[in-house]
Structure 1
Amino acid sequence: MEIQSPDRLIRLAVDLVNTRTREPEALTSTAELRDFLLGHGEPEPVEVDARDLEQVRAVRERLRPVFEAAPDAATRVLNGVLEEYAVRPYLSDHDGSPWHLHVAEPEASWAEWLAATTALGLATFAAGHGFEALGVCAAADCERVFANAAERRPRRFCTPRCATRTRVATHRARRT
C-alpha cells in the first residue's frame, strides 16, 4: 500500500469511482478487487476479503460527489475523508520496496488506504488544476468521471468515443 506519483493517485481515484457506472458493477467479487489493486501497481501479496470489498465500495461512493459537486461541496467531501482516514505523511521502505510516501496508518485496511490515498490525490489535483478539471462525462448514456490536467482545454466527455457518439446523435436528431 504505497503512493508512487501524483498521476498514479488521480488515476487510482478516477478508476475507483468508475468501477460503478451504468455499465455493470466492476467490483462484484474479492477477485475483482484484488485485480483492481494489482492493476494499479500494488505489489503482491494482495489479500482481500468480503469486508474489504464492501468497505472499498463505500469509499467509492463517498468520492463520486467530488466529481459532480461545486467546489465548496467537493472540498467538504475531501476534507472529511482526509480527516477520517489520513495520517501525517511519512516515508517508508518496507518489505524491500523503494522509498515511498504513506498517508494511512501502517495497518490500514485496503478501504482505509484507498480513502486516504485517493482523497489526497484528488485534493492535490484540484489544488493544482481547479475543481473544474474534474467532471462527469456529458454523454447522456455515460456516468464515467474524469480528470483533465490539460490547460486551456475544457473537457466534457470521458473519452473521444463518448464525444463522437454524442455529436453524431445530436447531428442525426437535427436532421430528422
Structure 2
Amino acid sequence: MEIQSPDRLVRLAVDLVNTRTLDPEQLISPASLRTFLLEHGEPEPVDVNDHDLTAVRAIRERLRPVFQAQLQTDAHAGTRAAAGVLNGLLAEYAVKPYLSDHDGAPWHLHVAEPDASWAEWLAATTALGLATFVAGHGFGALGVCAAVDCERVFANPAERRPRRFCTPRCATRTRVAAHRSRNS
C-alpha cells in the first residue's frame, strides 16, 4: 500500500468510482478487488476478503459526489459539499505523511496507518490525490460524463479545454445522436 505519483492517485480515484456505473458492477468479489489493486500498481501480496470488498465499495460511494459537484444547481454549494467529503475522508483515514521502505520497496510516501485495511488505505490515498488535484485545478476539472447513457467520472487537468465527456467515444456518440434527432 504505497503512494507513487499524484497522477496515479487521481487515476486510482477515477477508476475506483468507475467500477460501478451503468455497466455491470466490476467489484463483484474479493478476486476482482485484488485484480483492481494489482492493475493499479499495488505489489504482491494483495490479500483481500469479503469485508474488504464491502468496505472498498462504501469508500467508492463516498467519493462519487466529489465528481458531481459541478452538477449541482448551486455550483458553489456543490463544491463546498465535495470539499467536505474530501476533508471528512482525510480526517477519518489519513495520518501524518511518512516515508517507508517496507518489504524491500523503494522509499515512498504513506498517508494511512501502517496496518490500514485496503479500504482505509484507498480512502486516505484517493482523498489526498483528489484534494491535491482540486487545489491545483479546481473542482471544475472533475466531472461526470454528459452522455445520457454513461455515468463514468473523469479528471481533466487541461487548463483551456473544458470537458463534458469521459471519452471521445461518448462525445461522438452523443453528437451523432443529436444530429440524427435534428434530421429525423
User: Is TM (by shorter chain) over 0.5?
Assistant: yes
Tell me how large the CA RMSD over aligned residues is.
Answer: 0.4
Gaps of 5+ in 1: none
**Number of positions where the alignment pairs a residue of Structure 1 with one of Structure 2:** 176
- Residue matched to 1:34: 34
Gaps of 5+ in 2: 70-77
- Residue matched to 1:125: 133
- Residue matched to 2:155: 147
Residue in structure 1 matching 2:173, options 153, 165, 172: 165
Same amino acid, percent of matched pairs? 80
- How far did 1:49 drift? 0.2
- Residue matched to 1:108: 116
User: One-letter code of the match for 1:115?
Assistant: A
Residue in structure 1 matching 2:97, options 83, 89, 100: 89
Supply the distance in 2 between the matched residues of 1:151 and 1:103 (Cα, whole angstroms): 28
Does residue 64 in structure 1 map to residue 72 in structure 2? no
Q: Which aligned segments of 4 or more residues in structure 1 are displaced greater than 4 angstroms?
A: none
Supply the distance in 1 between the matched residues of 2:62 and 2:54 (Cα, whole angstroms): 13
- How far did 1:101 drift? 0.4
User: One-letter code of the match for 2:28?
Assistant: T
Supply the distance in 1 between the matched residues of 2:81 and 2:144 (Cα, whole angstroms): 15
- How far did 1:151 drift? 1.1
Partner deviation per Cα, 1:82-113 (whole Å, 9 max, x = no partner): 00000000000111101100000000000000
Supply the distance in 2 between the matched residues of 1:98 and 1:156 (Cα, whole angstroms): 38
Partner deviation per Cα, 1:10-46 (whole Å, 9 max, x = no partner): 0000000000000000000011000000000000000
Partner deviation per Cα, 1:112-171 (whole Å, 9 max, x = no partner): 000000000000000000000000000000000000011100000000000000000000
Secondary structure in 2 matching 1:32: helix
Supply the distance in 1 between the matched residues of 2:114 and 2:10 (Cα, whole angstroms): 22
User: One-letter code of the match for 1:13?
Assistant: A
Secondary structure in 1 matching 2:175: helix
- How far did 1:71 drift? 1.2
